[in-house]
Amino acid sequence: MSQAATINIGSKVRITRVRDRISNQMVDSLKADSTGTVTGFRTVDGKGIGVVVELSDGQIAWFFDDELTIA
């Protein structure tokens, strides 16, 4: 079972890796502080769950559940 079952809206998470390409601004944000708060979920590729995270600097992005750990 994926860990998404244990991640809820409002959970504090740490981004541990990123599988897809991201902007240089996002890279800089994650280097400065890789933690954020879960604000929602989305369907990804019809077979997975993406976790929407608001980072400490206010940026919002989604990540695969295996890219996160509970902070």
Which parts of the chain fold into alpha helices (H)? Answer: 24-32
Structure confidence at residue 54 (pLDDT): 97
Find how far residue 57's CA is from the centre of its chain. 14
| Per-residue pLDDT tens digits for 5-48 | 589 999 999 999 998 889 999 999 999 999 999 999 998 877 78
At 45, list the tokens.
């590729």
Domains of the chain with CATH codes: 3-70 (2.30.30)
The one-letter code for the residue type at 50 is G
The mean pLDDT of 56-61, rounded to a whole number, is 94
Looking at residue 4, what is its pLDDT?
53
